[in-house]
Amino acid sequence: MSAVIEIEGLRKTFRSLRSGRRVAVDGFDLLVEAGQVHGFLGPNGSGKTTTLRALLGLVRADSGRMTVLGEPSPELLPRVAGQVGAIVESPQFFGNFTGYRTLRLLARAGGVPVSRVDEVLDLVGLHDRGDERVKGYSLGMKQRLAVASALLKDPRLLILDEPANGLDPAGIREMRDLMRSLSANGVTVLVSSHILGEIQLICDHVTIISRGRRVATGRVDEVLAGHDRHEFLVRVAEPERAVELLHAAELTAVVDGGALVVSGVSDPTVVSRVLGEQDLWVGELTPLRPDLESVFLELTGAYEHSSVPRQVGDSSLPQGEAVIDLDRGVDA
Ligand SMILES: Nc1ncnc2c1ncn2[C@@H]1O[C@H](COP(=O)(O)OP(=O)(O)OP(=O)(O)O)[C@@H](O)[C@H]1O
């Protein structure tokens, strides 16, 4: 597999009047390979947007090595920019324009044939709604219009910052189907989110960032398997007696509600044998698999910041922050 995005040792510090020096990204590494739908997951304020902005040359990194489609970024990014679609800064759309007109303008501005507009409207499932004004679109439709705008130039790599933010479950499913069909068409996708359920539904690979550092990376199922505590939920008639019997057999077990949780068990038949030998018959024995949420909380601790999640059309900074970036001319 070839690397589509490589980041090694990225570091970015901001200075603000109120809070002084703030390390937003602190020696971060990321590898996204061709064909992946790669989730970039981290709590609010953990450094996702800053990483993506640095990768795309929208903010100057202090140090680190980055490549996009094999070209050093941001120095030689222009060589591959035509093959990269990105929505990192929240796009603003004119509410009075229709989706079709919006995309036609963007196509003209980007030197893309206008015939491509129908194709991208189709791809994001907005074809039947392209003649309606954007102000009448739901949030999910606006997000899909944003994705459509990034797809105009038929990119090999699509980078989306929080594309499913604020979507209801149906909107998230649509977004997932869209990511999957793009991936099936050979597009590599990097999608950031602070919402675990989205990443688990949408992505095959994940990198987790916490306080500007990578804390996990790999296939979603491998990251989950790495945190499997081999726990089982066991239902029996006498849970208290069952715990005593399991402790006597040197197994770790606790009563949890009306059931037991037994940990560190590689072979669950041991549990049913120990209990069955004492006429305690197991009514249910269910493996408790870790989900991304428990892994995420374990790796990142509690949410570090509680800034309002961004959505299309919102400002890119937490509200109320008086921030001055000293990288004048690079970062607005
Ligand atoms: N232009 C800026 N000037 C000063 N500080 C900034 C700037 N941009 C980001 N930060 C700070 O850097 C840290 C990382 O922010 P960043 O937006 O990269 O996080 P994030 O993971 O994308 O969060 P969210 O999920 O809320 O979008 C935060 O503490 C944030 O306040």
Rounded distance between C-alpha atoms, residue 62 and residue 12, angstroms: 5
Give the DSSP letter string of 118-168: HHHHHHTT-GGGTTSBGGGS-HHHHHHHHHHHHHTT--SEEEEESTTTT--
Query: Is there a single domain that holds both residue 15 and residue 97?
Result: yes
CB 176 within 8 A of CB 7: no
The predicted pLDDT at position 124 comes to: 86
The predicted pLDDT at position 303 comes to: 39
CB 286 within 8 A of CB 233: yes
Q: Which span out of 25-29, 38-42, 312-316 was modeled with the highest average pLDDT?
A: 25-29
Query: Is there a single domain that holds both residue 67 and residue 196?
Result: yes
Is 133 part of any domain?
Answer: yes
| pLDDT single digits (tens) 160-195 | 988 777 677 777 777 788 888 888 888 999 999 887
Mean predicted lDDT score pLDDT of the chain? 84
Q: What is the value of ipTM here, to two decimals? A: 0.96
Is 38 part of any domain?
Answer: yes
CB 125 within 8 A of CB 174: yes
Query: Is there a single domain that holds both residue 7 and residue 43?
Result: yes
Residue 250 maps to which CATH number? Answer: 3.30.70
Instruction: Centre a 10 Å sphere on the Cβ of residue 294 and count the other Cβ atoms it contains.
Output: 15
For ligand 1, whether the C-beta of 24 sits within 6 Å is yes
For ligand 1, whether the C-beta of 300 sits within 6 Å is no
Query: Is there a single domain that holds both residue 154 and residue 50?
Result: yes
Is 163 part of any domain?
Answer: yes
For ligand 1, whether the C-beta of 46 sits within 6 Å is yes
Average pLDDT over residues 66-88: 93
Angle between helices 99-109 and 139-151 (to 10 degrees): 20
78-84, Cβ contacts within 8 angstroms, sequence gap of 24 or more: 82/153, 83/153, 83/155, 83/156, 83/157, 84/56, 84/155, 84/156, 84/157, 84/158, 84/159
Residue 66 maps to which CATH number? Answer: 3.40.50.300
106-120, 122-136, 245-259, 307-321: the lowest-pLDDT one = 307-321
Is 328 part of any domain?
Answer: no
Query: Is there a single domain that holds both residue 220 and residue 236?
Result: no
| pLDDT single digits (tens) 38-74 | 999 988 889 999 999 999 999 999 999 999 999 999 9
Its pTM stands at 0.76
Is 305 part of any domain?
Answer: no
Query: Is there a single domain that holds both residue 160 and residue 210?
Result: yes
Question: Ligand 1 pocket: which of 48, 88, 330 to mutate (most atoms <8 Å of CB)?
Answer: 48
Q: Is the dihedral of CA 221, 224, 225, 226 positive or negative?
A: positive
For ligand 1, whether the C-beta of 311 sits within 6 Å is no
For ligand 1, whether the C-beta of 323 sits within 6 Å is yes
For ligand 1, whether the C-beta of 45 sits within 6 Å is yes
Query: Is there a single domain that holds both residue 72 and residue 177?
Result: yes
Domain count, the chain: 2
The predicted pLDDT at position 114 comes to: 92
Query: Is there a single domain that holds both residue 105 and residue 236?
Result: no
CB 162 within 8 A of CB 193: yes
What token pair was written down for 25?
């990204």
- 261 CA to middle of ligand 1, Å? 40
Query: Is there a single domain that holds both residue 81 and residue 152?
Result: yes
Query: Is there a single domain that holds both residue 8 and residue 113?
Result: yes
Q: Which residue is listed with tokens 């991936």?
A: 183
Query: Is there a single domain that holds both residue 213 and residue 236?
Result: no
Average pLDDT over residues 254-266: 87
Q: Kindly list the strands in the beta sheet with 71-72, ordered across the sheet, starting from the edge strand earlier in the chain.
A: 20-33, 3-16, 63-68, 71-72
Residue 69 phi, psi dihedral angles, 5° rounding = 50, 40
- 201 CA to middle of ligand 1, Å? 25
| pLDDT single digits (tens) 209-257 | 999 999 999 998 888 777 777 888 999 999 999 999 999 998 899 998 8
Is 208 part of any domain?
Answer: yes
What are the residues whose beta carbons fall under 8 Å from the beta carbon of 252, sequence distance 6 or more? 246, 262, 263, 264
Structural domain range at position 266? 231-286
47 or 296, which is more confident: 47
Query: Is there a single domain that holds both residue 38 and residue 111?
Result: yes
Average pLDDT over residues 117-140: 90
Is 198 part of any domain?
Answer: yes
Average pLDDT over residues 129-133: 94
